[in-house]
């Protein structure tokens, strides 16, 4: 899954896709490099970011979605949003998937809107919102608490009529650095739900801090983390660097052919 941020303030590539021609070139490159899904985000979910209005989010998202759908009709397009209105409008413009960091907890109409769209739904574990998540990181047992969250939330999501579901454990969201690495190391425990697992590790601060570097120089660490995620049963990698991630997947799959 290729990350296509349409925001000026995302933690790594903010503003890089604001130009329409540059965005289409990025899409073309990512698809040819192995991206299976394009994830469009028109608002920043980084800790401390200030929420924007629905109108602002759609003003950024609409032209990009229309342009990509027109120029790459076969591409699978995911929409990174937690807002019901955005889901409805994006679905009408040809979106293929909804990626919701809030699991329906930041908009009371979100699950109904997703159910009406009939689109696959990524639900993520997070506590609070972008302004409060960094303070909400106390757990009795990290994986037990996250598993309970998914168990309870899946019941609600399915009751709403959503059946095609992907889980995202929310690495880096309402979790300290060591908690994020623990989550990565114990990722296989989430296979008890028998659902695909999406992992977002790309150039995150947990990697940069551990390696005493910055996000611009965190690609090598990201690739190492991706290999661990694949070994621990991740189904989808959400990435900034598609070519490198696709190469890691190819190596992983090739080696798996020879394992017992």
Q: Any catalytic annotation for residue 238?
A: yes
Q: Copy the structure tokens of residue 116.
A: 């009406």
Residue 181's CB is within 10 A of a number of other CB atoms, namely 17
DSSP-assigned letters across all residues of 221-258:
HHHHHHHHHHHTT--EEEBS-HHHHHHHHHHHHHHHTT
CATH 3.20.20.20 for domain 2-256, yes or no, is: yes
The one catalytic residue among 22, 204, 233, 256 = 204
Mind listing the pLDDT tens digit for each residue in 83-110? 999 999 999 999 999 999 999 999 999 9
> Angle at which helices 110-117 and 84-92 pack, to 10 degrees?
20
User: Distance (Å, rounded) from C-alpha 175 to C-alpha 84?
Assistant: 26
- If pLDDT is split at 50, 70 and 90, which confidence band does 15 have? low
User: Which residues does 37 contact at the CB level (< 8 Å), separation at least 6?
Assistant: 1, 2, 76, 77, 78, 96, 97, 236
Mind listing the pLDDT tens digit for each residue in 148-167? 999 999 999 999 999 999 99
Q: Any catalytic annotation for residue 186?
A: no
Q: Helix (H, G, I), strand (E, B), or coil: what is residue 27?
A: helix
Q: What is the model's pLDDT at position 12? A: 46
The one catalytic residue among 83, 151, 238, 250 = 238
Mind listing the pLDDT tens digit for each residue in 186-237? 999 999 999 999 999 999 999 999 999 999 999 999 999 999 999 999 999 9
């Amino acid at each position: 899954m290729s990350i296509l941020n349409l925001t000026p303030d995302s933690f790594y590539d903010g503003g890089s896709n604001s130009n329409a021609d540059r965005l289409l070139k990025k899409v073309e490159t990512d698809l040819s490099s192995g991206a299976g899904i394009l994830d469009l985000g028109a608002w920043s979910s980084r800790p401390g970011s200030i929420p924007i209005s629905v109108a602002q989010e759609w003003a950024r998202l609409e032209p990009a979605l229309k342009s990509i759908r027109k120029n790459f009709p076969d591409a699978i397009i995911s929409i990174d949003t937690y807002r019901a209105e955005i889901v409805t409008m994006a679905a009408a413009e040809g979106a293929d998937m909804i990626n919701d960091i809030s699991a329906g907890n930041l908009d009371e109409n979100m699950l109904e809107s997703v159910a009406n769209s009939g689109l696959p739904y990524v639900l993520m574990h997070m506590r609070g919102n972008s302004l409060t998540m960094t303070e909400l990181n106390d757990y009795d047992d990290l994986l037990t608490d996250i598993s309970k969250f998914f168990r309870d939330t899946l019941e609600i999501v399915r009751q709403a009529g959503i059946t095609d579901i992907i889980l995202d454990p929310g690495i880096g969201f309402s979790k300290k650095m060591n908690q994020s690495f623990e989550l990565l190391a114990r990722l296989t425990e989430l296979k008890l739900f028998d659902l695909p697992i999406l992992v977002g590790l790309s150039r995150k601060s947990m990697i940069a801090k551990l390696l005493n570097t910055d996000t611009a120089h965190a690609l090598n660490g990201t690739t190492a983390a991706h290999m661990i995620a694949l070994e621990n049963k991740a189904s989808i990698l959400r990435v900034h660097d598609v070519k490198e991630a696709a190469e890691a997947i190819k190596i992983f799959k090739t080696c798996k052919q020879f394992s017992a």
